């Protein structure tokens, strides 16, 4: 049986997580993380590639190869099993609370018997934590605060943590005999940037067999409930997963139902009611005689209601129903519209590969152009380039471009917006670059007026083409800096500066609502990956999903232009770009 890449990647990620908790060495941890990323980006099963050629996958050496073979033949990795046994599940769970490291988690677990976040909160509220040596009332208050803020976002997880798991579960369920269709619905299918839980629906003629297989999947830590047609489980990464089994004739209304959103459905049901129809998860029925109407796709549901098909990413009741009724839905962008990537790093700063490597990988994806945008001098942690180094790099990029066939390589930089709003390279340098991406990497705690003023000042520089990761947020780790995004959008429109949707899966800013506001204000958007290795170029799909949710069409996105059009756009005086 074929071993799915998602399963290999999830196991490598879990090994990295557990090694991190065990305090193992960073080099080893990074090797597993990198391997997970590489395997996830392959188009062919890793095991097959390696069988043909042992060194087919750079970054996968002997030790990792043998784990892939083991997983294929045994269905498990001994090493991972051992790590799981060494590190109690409670410790894994407790370290998800911000501020609690592995050592603290172990002490809380061992001395107070704390098993999960709920019992930790109860212990903190009861004043039991301050009684432990080395812990005070302040620590206790911080723990309460951290748990409350975790719970206020409903414990949502970034899409990239849940989507590969959901895909892995679905692909396993599709192999079960009797299963005709299966898919993940909910915010995963709508491609929201964070998700609450994984909802899976499967059409089957043999629900018993489906439930049995679901319960046996290795991704789950615990099966929390099991009925004839429904089951719930919790994954090892603490994401809840619900499964619905439906008969094949109810699949499309069922999928439509679990996809949501609730607001979208309420509106649709209202429209259906006025037409004398009843829609629920089992089917569509005529009010008059209760007769079921045959539904063979989601398209059928929308056309029955007299509207054009609404893609899942738009189902939020943000005007899509009115647009679909009047035939005015936007032709939203797809992954294939993207012709280049305008933000990436190489080993010149904090990336892992050469300019040529990145260009080759981009060409293999089918791009017409890329921009190399390494960090500027002030970003010491990322080996930012000095003025001399960036001049050298421009020559190097010109050379690589001359060697390359079929892809254009543009010279760029990700120039830091310094604390006073000035840029990290002088104008004489910026004007030699084809593309200037500007961004903030410091002074995150400045107040709203100061941060917004910094960004506005940067956008007023005529050489700045794109404002990168405009809010600085990291999903589930840190909120963005306090920026007035309305002002940024207005100023971007006025100066002709593009705003970025950063496809790095834990950034994804601008978010969908801000990107849509930018679109409406006439701002050009660039969807970039900010890759630090060629395997990360595949993250583009995450940015495209945000763009789809923001109602963007190809004409709203700079990197859907041909290279010549793009260069012309870059040369046009910024204020006149429009």
Least distance in Å: CB of 441 to Zn ion? 6
Least distance in Å: CB of 439 to Zn ion? 5
What distances in angstroms separate CA 84 from CA 11, 88, 236, 404, one per listed residue? 11, 7, 10, 47
Long-range (24+ apart) CB contacts under 8 A made by 260-268 are 260/185, 260/186, 260/187, 260/190, 260/315, 261/187, 261/190, 261/315, 261/316, 261/317, 263/316, 263/317, 264/310, 264/315, 264/316, 264/317, 264/320, 264/321, 266/317, 267/317, 267/321, 268/301, 268/305, 268/321
Q: Using the 8-state DSSP alphabet, how is residue 265 labeled? A: H
Q: Which is nearer to Zn ion, 320 or 536 (CB)?
A: 536
Least distance in Å: CB of 469 to Zn ion? 6
Least distance in Å: CB of 504 to Zn ion? 8
Least distance in Å: CB of 157 to Zn ion? 23
Contacts to Zn ion by CB under 5 A: 414, 439, 530
- Determine what percent of the chain falls in helix, strand and coil, rounding each to the nearest 5: 50, 15, 35
- The number of helices, as runs of H, and strands, as runs of E, in the chain is 24, 17
Write the DSSP string, 338-377. --EE--B--TTTT-SS-HHHHHHHHHHHT-SEEEEEEEBT
Q: Which is nearer to Zn ion, 439 or 461 (CB)?
A: 439
Q: Which is nearer to Zn ion, 197 or 414 (CB)?
A: 414
Rg (the chain; Cα; Å): 25
Cα 43 to Cα 298: distance, rounded to the nearest angstrom: 28
DSSP H or E run through 487:
helix 485-495
Least distance in Å: CB of 440 to Zn ion? 8
Report the residue closest to Zn ion, judged by CB: 530
- Cβ within 8 Å of residue 104, ≥6 positions away: 94
Least distance in Å: CB of 520 to Zn ion? 26
SS (H, E, C) 28-52: HHHHHHHHHHHHHCCCCCHHHHHHH
Q: Which is nearer to Zn ion, 164 or 472 (CB)?
A: 472
Q: Which is nearer to Zn ion, 7 or 376 (CB)?
A: 376
Q: Which is nearer to Zn ion, 199 or 530 (CB)?
A: 530
Least distance in Å: CB of 70 to Zn ion? 37
Least distance in Å: CB of 274 to Zn ion? 50
Q: Which is nearer to Zn ion, 511 or 530 (CB)?
A: 530
Q: Which is nearer to Zn ion, 172 or 414 (CB)?
A: 414
Q: Using the 8-state DSSP alphabet, how is residue 327 labeled? A: T
Q: Kindly report the CA angle at 314 between 292 and 232, in degrees rounded to 5?
A: 65
Residue with tokens 């998602």: 6
Least distance in Å: CB of 344 to Zn ion? 7
Token pair listed for 500: 């970025």
Q: Which is nearer to Zn ion, 169 or 436 (CB)?
A: 436
Q: Which is nearer to Zn ion, 341 or 530 (CB)?
A: 530
Q: Using the 8-state DSSP alphabet, how is residue 278 labeled? A: E
Write the DSSP string, 175-228. TSTTEEEEEE-HHHHTT-SEES-EEEEEEES-HHHHHHHHHH-TTEEEEEEE-S
Least distance in Å: CB of 68 to Zn ion? 31
């Amino acid at each position: 049986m074929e071993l799915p890449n998602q399963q290999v990647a999830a196991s490598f990620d879990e090994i990295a997580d557990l090694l991190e908790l065990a305090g193992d060495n960073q080099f080893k941890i990074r090797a597993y993380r990198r391997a997970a990323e590489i395997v996830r980006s392959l188009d062919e099963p890793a095991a097959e590639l390696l069988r043909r050629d042992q060194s087919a996958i750079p970054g996968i050496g002997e030790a990792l190869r043998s784990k892939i073979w083991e997983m294929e033949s045994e269905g498990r990795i001994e090493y991972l099993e051992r790590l799981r046994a060494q590190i109690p599940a409670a410790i894994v769970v407790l370290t998800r609370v911000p501020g609690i490291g592995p050592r603290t988690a172990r002490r809380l677990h061992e001395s107070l018997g704390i098993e999960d976040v709920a019992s930790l909160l109860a212990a903190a509220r009861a004043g039991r934590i301050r009684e432990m040596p080395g812990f005070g009332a302040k620590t206790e208050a911080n723990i309460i605060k951290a748990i409350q803020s975790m719970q206020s976002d409903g414990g949502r997880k970034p899409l990239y943590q849940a989507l590969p798991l959901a895909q892995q579960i679905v692909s396993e369920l599709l192999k079960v005999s009797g299963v005709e269709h299966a898919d993940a619905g909910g915010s995963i299918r709508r491609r929201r940037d964070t998700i609450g839980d994984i909802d899976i629906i499967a059409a089957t003629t043999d629900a018993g067999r489906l439930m049995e297989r679901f319960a046996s999947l290795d991704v789950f830590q615990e099966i929390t409930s099991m009925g004839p047609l429904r089951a719930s489980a919790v994954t090892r990464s603490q994401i809840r997963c619900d499964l619905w089994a439906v008969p094949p004739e109810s699949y499309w209304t069922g999928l439509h139902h679990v996809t949501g959103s609730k607001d979208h459905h309420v509106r649709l049901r209202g429209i259906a009611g006025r037409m004398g129809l009843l829609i629920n998860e089992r089917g569509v029925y005529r009010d008059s005689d209760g007769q079921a109407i045959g539904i063979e796709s989601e398209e059928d549901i929308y056309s029955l209601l007299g509207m054009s098909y609404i893609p899942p990413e738009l189902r939020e009741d943000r005007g899509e129903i009115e647009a679909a009724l009047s035939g005015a839905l936007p032709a939203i962008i797809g992954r294939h519209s993207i012709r280049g990537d305008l933000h990436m790093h190489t080993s010149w700063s904090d990336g892992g590969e050469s300019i040529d490597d990145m260009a080759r990988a981009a060409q293999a994806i089918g791009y017409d152009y890329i921009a190399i945008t390494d960090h500027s001098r002030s970003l010491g942690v990322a080996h930012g380039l000095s003025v001399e180094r960036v001049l050298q790099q421009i020559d190097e990029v010109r050379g690589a471009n001359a060697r390359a066939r079929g892809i254009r390589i543009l010279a760029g930089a990700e120039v830091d917006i310094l604390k006073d709003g000035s840029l990290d390279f002088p104008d004489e340098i910026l004007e030699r670059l084809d593309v200037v991406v500007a961004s903030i990497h410091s002074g995150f705690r400045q107040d709203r007026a100061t941060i917004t003023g910094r960004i506005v000042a940067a956008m007023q520089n005529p050489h700045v083409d794109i404002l990168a990761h405009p809010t600085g947020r990291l999903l589930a780790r840190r909120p963005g800096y306090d920026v007035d995004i309305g002002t940024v959008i207005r100023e971007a429109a006025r100066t002709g500066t593009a705003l970025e949707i950063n496809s790095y899966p834990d950034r994804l800013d601008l978010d969908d609502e801000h990107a849509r506001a930018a679109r409406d204000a006439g701002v050009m958007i660039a969807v970039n990956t900010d890759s630090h290795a060629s395997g990360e170029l595949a993250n583009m799909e995450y940015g495209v999903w945000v763009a789809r949710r923001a109602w963007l069409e190809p004409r709203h996105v700079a990197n859907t232009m041909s290279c010549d059009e793009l260069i012309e756009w870059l040369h046009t005086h910024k204020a006149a770009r429009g």
